[in-house]
Amino acid sequence: MGTRKRMIVAITGASGVNYGIKFLEVLKNLGLETHLILSNAGKKIISIEGRLSVSEVEKLASYTYHEDDIGSALASGSFIVDSMVVVPCSMGTLSAIAHDFENNLITRAAGCVLKQGKKLVLVPRETPLSIIQLENMVKVAKSGAIILPAMPAFYPQPKTIKDLEDFICGKILDLLGIDHQLYKRWEGENKKI
């Protein structure tokens, strides 16, 4: 594998699939190797709110897997990967990861990433949050996952939905140590934005 970054990206059945689509576009433009897992519910949400079709989204990834493909290489801790991002992350997926319920390839791969000490970034897009959901977030965070809610900032003065997508994708890339120019960083209140 060398120094080339290899990451797993999962899109699950929560509103906000365009964050996942944008993230895949950015990774493709950076020339990174991506392994995409689409849940059945994620495919349904893409057909409802996505700006691309499911087949177009799949073409953004280096490799694509079905959530039931539990026999794939991603289901083993011996598969060398730098990180995994679930964007958006449904509350059902979050709960399964929190309780080590490896019922599909997404949750199995997440478990492998955690046990190998690699970065797992979960991007929930849900509001409001119940105490159960908050406790699940604490549980996965204590296990080593990073919770990055899809909460865009407004200090960069976004003008379009694309600007909001860029901000969230940029924050994910920041966590993964990947350089980007997706949003203007805060420079202090006396600086012009």
The string of pLDDT tens digits covering residues 35-74 is 999 999 999 999 999 999 999 999 999 999 999 999 999 9
188 confidence band (pLDDT: 50, 70, 90): confident
Global pTM?
A: 0.94
Distances (CA, A) of 68 to 88, 112, 129: 19, 16, 28
Residue 167 has pLDDT above 50, yes or no: yes
Residue 2 has pLDDT above 50, yes or no: no
The string of pLDDT tens digits covering residues 74-113 is 999 999 999 999 999 999 999 999 999 999 999 999 999 9
Q: What percent of the chain has pLDDT over 70?
A: 96
User: What pLDDT, on a 0 to 100 scale, did the predictor assign at position 189?
Assistant: 82
The string of pLDDT tens digits covering residues 120-153 is 999 999 999 999 999 999 999 999 999 999 999 9
Cis peptide before 152 (omega within 30 of 0): no
Q: What is the 3-state secondary structure (H, E, C) of 73-111?
A: HHHCCCCCCCEEEEEEECHHHHHHHHCCCCCCHHHHHHH
Tokens standing for residue 10: 């999962």
**Which CATH class for the 6-151 domain?**
alpha beta
Residues 13, 86 contacting (CB under 8 angstroms): no
Average pLDDT for the chain: 95
Sequence spans of domains, the chain: 6-151
